[in-house]
Amino acid sequence: MSRRLFGTDGIRGVAGDPPLDPRTVHAVGVALGKWAREANGGEVEDAPEVVIGLDTRESGPWLAAQVAGGLKRSGVKARFAGIITTPGIAYLARIGAYIAGVMISASHNPYYDNGIKIIDSAGYKLADSIEEHLEELMFEWLDSGEEPVTEALIADSGLDHLYSDYLASTIHGSLPFHLVVDCANGSATAVAPELFQRLGAKIDLIGNAPDGRNINLDCGSLHLDALRKRVLETGADAGVAFDGDADRALFVSHSGKIIDGDAVLFLAGSAMKRAGKLAGDAVVATVMSNLGLEKAFESLSIALLRTPVGDKYVLEEMLKRGATLGGEQSGHIILTEYATTGDGILTALRVFEILHDSKKTLDDLTDEIRTFPQKLVNVRVKQKRPLEELAQVQQEIQAAEREFAGAGRIVVRFSGTEPLARVMIEASSEESVNKWTARIADAIRHELGAIEG
C-alpha cells in the first residue's frame, strides 16, 4: 500500500490547503494519539505524551494547536517546546518520556508552506509502514464527520534549554572565533546565538529577526550572498548559515569561499579518521555529492558510499553499515556519535572544533578537494511520470553518457516534496555541464509540461 499524504519528509504543503487544512491536521493528531495508545497498551492511566515544536512560520501555532487537539481527542497529552529546531525535537523525543515528537516545519521552503514531521521515541523518522498505518487512522477519523477542536498550548522553555545544554556539553573547552551566524529567520534564532556566545565566540548575527513571513527569505543556507558579504566586511574567521528548521548548515571561509556539505564531509571525515572514529573508513553520501569528494577521499583510503537523495536514505545506509558520518551536499550532516538526525548547529560545533584543534582555516582544511563543474536545474512540472517512460529524456541522457565516457555524472530525479524535476550534471568542463543540463531539462519540459514562474 502506498502512502497518500506522507512524503519523504512528513506531510508538506501550503498551510491551510489540503493536506494542511485544519481537519486533516487534526486527523494527524487523532491518528498519532491512537497509535500511541496502541503502542502503550491502550491503558487509560499514565497516558503517553507527545512533544511538539515548530519553526517561526506564522501558520505554526495553529497547526500545532490542531495536532494537540487531535492528540487530546485520543487521550494523549501534548508537551509544547515552542520554537525549536527539528533535531532539537528529535533529541527531546529520544531522551524524554515521550511516545513521539512532532515538528511543525517546512524546512527550507517559503513561509506559506509548512509541514508535519513525526519522530519516534528513539529519535528517528517513522518507518513507512507506520506512516501507512497513521494514514489509515486519519482517513477513518476524517470519514467520521466530526469537527476538529484545537488545544491551547503554552511553551515549556525548559525543553529547548535541555537541547542547547546538550549541544554545549559536546564541546570541551571553548570556540574563541569571530563568527557570522545566519539564522535564516528560523528555528536557529532560538538556540544558536546564545549557544555560540556561551562557548566563547564573538558573533555577528544576520537573519535573526523572524516575523512569521521572512523565514528563508534571502537568507539562510539557500542564500549565502549576505553571509559571504558580512564575513568579508568584518574579517570574521568564518560564517555559518542554517535553514529554516536548522537541520542543515553551510559555511563561508575567511576568504569568502563557500564550504558546502561535501567539503564539510571531507574535513569531518578526514579528522575522524585521524582520531580513529571513522567506522569502517567509510562515509555515506548521496548521488548528488561531487566526484571531487570521492577522489579526495580515495587519497585518504576512505570509501564514499552513495544513496538516493534524502537524509532518510543516508541514515538508513549508515545504520545498516554502522557508519559514523554521512550527509548531503546541501548541508545535512549526520554524526551518529551525537545525534539520530542531521543537525546544523551540531555540525557547526564540530566544524569549529576541528578548526580550533587543527589551528588551520576552512580554506586550509578543504583545499584538497577539486570540485568538478556541476549544475543543478529545477524544472517545475505539471505531472510526474516514471522517468524510464520518457523516451526523449532517456535519449538525451544516453547521448550525454556517451560523450562523458565515464568522466561525468548525470542525476535526474523528482523532488519528494515539490512538483519539480531535478537535473544534475557533473563533468570536466562548464561547457559540457551547461549543454547537457539545458538539453535534458528541455526534454523534460517537452514531455511533462512546465509550470512557468
Q: Is the dihedral of CA 108, 225, 344, 153 positive or negative?
A: negative
pLDDT at 44: 47
Q: Is 40 exposed, middle or buried (0-12, 13-18, 19+ CB in 10 A)?
A: middle
DSSP 376-392: EEEEEBS----GGG-HH
Considering 59, 74, 107, 289, which one is annotated as catalytic?
A: 107
3-state helix, strand, coil in the chain (%, to 5): 40, 20, 40
CA–CA distance, 78 with 88 (Å, rounded to integer)? 16
Give CA–CA dist 336/326, Å, rounded.
9
Phi-psi sector, 18: left (phi>0), alpha (psi -120 to 50), beta: beta
Q: Which of 152, 216, 204, 210 is nearest to 179 (CA)?
A: 204
What is the structure's pLDDT at 109?
95
Mark whether 107 is an active-site residue: yes
Alpha helices in 114-182 (DSSP H): 128-142, 157-169
Is the bond preceding residue 148 a cis peptide, omega within 30 degrees?
no
Strand partners, 241: 182, 250
Query: How far is Cα 451 from Cα 379, in angstroms, rounded to an integer?
Result: 8
Rounded to whole angstroms, the Cα distance separating 212 from 113 reads: 12
What's the half-sphere exposure (Cβ side, CA atoms, 13 Å) at 321?
Answer: 23
Q: 218 near 226, Cβ under 8 Å?
A: yes
Q: For residue 82, which of 101, 61, 98, 68 has the smallest C-alpha distance?
A: 61
Q: What is the pLDDT along the chain (453 residues), one digit of tens a residue?
A: 567 899 878 999 999 999 999 999 999 999 999 998 887 665 545 678 999 999 999 999 999 999 999 999 999 999 999 999 999 999 999 999 999 999 999 999 999 999 999 999 999 998 889 999 999 999 999 999 899 999 999 999 899 899 999 999 999 889 999 999 999 999 999 999 999 999 999 999 999 999 999 999 999 999 999 999 999 999 999 999 999 999 999 999 999 999 999 999 999 999 999 999 999 999 999 988 998 898 899 999 999 999 988 888 999 999 999 999 999 999 999 999 999 999 999 999 999 999 999 999 999 999 988 888 989 999 999 889 999 999 999 999 999 999 988 778 899 999 877 889 999 999 888 999 999 999 999 999 999 887 765
Q: Would you call 58 helix, strand, or coil by DSSP?
A: coil
Domains and CATH numbers, the chain: 11-159 (3.40.120.10), 170-366 (3.40.120.10), 374-448 (3.30.310.50)
Rg value, the chain, Cα: 22
